[in-house]
Amino acid sequence: MIRVALLSKWHVHAVDYAKQATELENISIEMVWDEDRVRGEEWSRELNVPFEAELESVLSNPSVDGVIVTAPTSEHKDVLMKAAQHGKHIFTEKVLALTIEECDGILAEVEKAEVEFMISLPRLGEDYYLYAQQAVDNEWLGQLTMVRCRVAHNGAVSTSQNPEGWLPSHFYEKEKTGGGAFIDLGAHPIYLANRLAGTPVAVTARLQSVFHPGVDDHAVALVEYGKGVLGVLETSFVSSGSPFQLELYGTEGTLLIEQNTVRIKSAQFDRENWVYPENLPAQLSTPMEQWVQAIEGSEEPVITKEDAIELTLVNQAAGLSQTSGQRIEINQIKS
């Protein structure tokens, strides 16, 4: 049994991860910590587990094997490094950290402690992504030239039920989040495009605000990859009814994914007509299941540290591009 502590209910997915952990027979939630004591105590009562006010007490507790981290992004470096230094396995919400320097520091401690690390990038296990990766790997589209991906919702839009929108107000506190829509919801287009298009080379981004000055509530980034591939990545907290879209374009075909519909037009299949594949690849284990399997030694995770690093690189470059109004080369950040 893997005994875990839940570290903060700050992120909107905290409840989802607690539910996933509860449903896995080889995880036991032992305690809750939260930087907001009132929120943490309430959550601990809901889960019927103890609340611990001191992070150090949680991490030094020998009855805790691992931690599930949904703390503010600005606190990831401190929380995750301390967890690794105490020998705790780590499951963390995206993004890993605000800068590549912080990522390097965290992952250095993870490697030193030889603990299992997992970042929640769930769409890397979805059937549509796996099919898209097959299309790229098998060159069904010829040479890949462009990837476009959009993930958006209306979390910042006022309604009668939620006058301020359904996202929590602290999602617009830049000192905690490090940004707005792009750093959070925009992570999904980023890591999907990174996998499909390769290593990011440069980023030009516009992070715009409609309702929340100081952070972006919708954004678009043009990401340049090797061999001339372009990525157009879009996200929004202010779009109602916007479907998930993933589009791949190549010299010999096009793959379009919208919500649950996948279609491909390829010179290798039927140049004139769309083909709707009947059997998509089987979905992979969830990030949390992959984490458990890694701890138990039964299977290597598919989601990697490199996925986490490149996600932060694009995010950091996008922020610099917005601030400077210029195209940012990834090597500028790495150097």
185-to-38, 122, 205, 216 alpha-carbon distances in Å: 27, 12, 15, 11
Which domain covers residue 281, as residue numbers?
Answer: 123-334
- 176 CB burial (10 A radius; 0-12, 13-18, 19+): middle
Read off the CATH number of the domain in which 296 is found: 3.30.360.10
pLDDT digits (tens, 9 = 90+) for 116-127: 999 999 999 999
pLDDT of 88: 98
- Looking at the fold, whether 251 and 146 belong to one and the same domain comes out as yes
- Looking at the fold, whether 164 and 283 belong to one and the same domain comes out as yes
Read off the CATH number of the domain in which 11 is found: 3.40.50.720
Q: What total number of domains does the chain contain?
A: 2
- Looking at the fold, whether 108 and 129 belong to one and the same domain comes out as no
In the DSSP assignment, the letter for residue 288 is H
Q: Identify the domain boundary among 64, 80, 115.
A: 115
- Looking at the fold, whether 239 and 109 belong to one and the same domain comes out as no
Q: What is the band of 274 on the pLDDT scale with cuts at 50, 70, 90? A: very high
In the DSSP assignment, the letter for residue 285 is P
Spatial strand order of the sheet with 89-92 comes to 27-33, 2-7, 66-69, 89-92, 117-119
pLDDT digits (tens, 9 = 90+) for 208-219: 999 988 999 999
- Looking at the fold, whether 54 and 186 belong to one and the same domain comes out as no
Tell me the average pLDDT of the chain: 96
- Looking at the fold, whether 93 and 146 belong to one and the same domain comes out as no
pLDDT of 169: 92
- Looking at the fold, whether 177 and 309 belong to one and the same domain comes out as yes
pLDDT digits (tens, 9 = 90+) for 305-314: 999 999 999 9
Q: Identify the domain boundary among 65, 88, 115.
A: 115
pLDDT of 335: 63
Q: Identify the domain boundary among 115, 140, 170.
A: 115
